[in-house]
Amino acid sequence: MNEKIKNILEWFYCIVIAIVLALLFRYFIGTPTIVQQVSMKPTLIQDQRLWLNRWNKTIKKMPQRGDIITFEAPSKKLYTEDEIDQSNPIAKYENEPKGLWNKFTYYVLELKKDSYIKRVIALPGEHVQIKNNRVYIDGQLLQEDYIQSGIVTDVVGPGFDDFVVPDNCVFAMGDNRSHSTDCRAFGCIPLEKIESKVWIRIWPLNLFGKVK
């Protein structure tokens, strides 16, 4: 093997290793993202840049109430009145990719994958009630200082408004309740579908810091 070919192969190996390490870091540790919707106003605004912490997903750690998380969008986002089952309020994921390559491009490269950013409101075993335009957890009114004055919490059309959060699931909603499609519409999110916790806002620079 001449020296030129050897150098090309060395560079090729280095590039492949760098790509693999970057993908592993992105999947297991953290990654940047851009806010694209208005459902988390005023906490998060469109076009802000965030750093997502994916370590909790790696170790399968349940998020806490108040955490802002990202999760895979359910395949079914709206239900009819007859389809709502308050005794089994788990979001449906019925379009799982088939085959090793499709799973790699979907879960690792995240091609053609939709994700939502919402705030965790209730945890496994907690009784959630949405009534009188407010949220009650185990019969106690939930104080939500992060939502703007005048914003109410209701369920428009068929939805989940009186249920117990199932094991290994969370109930999450957007802070901008009237402009958020969330667990009120499609049910609670299983732990394995939670992708990350929003950690730091990295842009704009004047708002740089931990997101709460």
> From first to last of its 212 residues, what are the pLDDT tens digits of the chain?
677 777 778 888 888 899 989 888 888 999 999 999 999 999 999 999 999 999 999 999 999 999 999 999 999 999 999 999 999 999 999 988 899 999 888 888 888 899 999 999 999 999 999 999 999 999 999 999 999 988 999 998 899 999 999 999 999 999 999 999 999 999 999 999 999 999 999 999 999 999 98
pLDDT the model gives residue 108: 87
pLDDT the model gives residue 140: 96
pLDDT the model gives residue 77: 92
- Helix, strand, coil share of the chain (percent; to 5): 25, 25, 45
Q: All domains of the chain, ordered by start, with CATH?
A: 31-210 (2.10.109.10)
pLDDT the model gives residue 119: 98
- Bridge partners (DSSP) of residue 140 are 137
Neighbours of 71 (CB within 10 A): 24
16 sits in the region (left: phi over 0; alpha: psi -120 to 50; else beta) called alpha
What is the Cα 4 distance to its own chain's centre?
48
pLDDT the model gives residue 111: 87
122, 146, 198, 201 from 166: Cα distances, Å:
10, 25, 23, 31
Between CA 77 and CA 72 the distance in angstroms is 12
pLDDT the model gives residue 1: 60
DSSP string across 166-178: PTTEEEEE-SSGG
7, 85, 122 from 189: Cα distances, Å:
49, 15, 11
What is the Cα 57 distance to its own chain's centre?
11
pLDDT the model gives residue 177: 95
Instruction: Report the candidate in 89, 102, 98 with the shortest Cα–Cα distance to residue 166.
Output: 89
pLDDT the model gives residue 153: 94
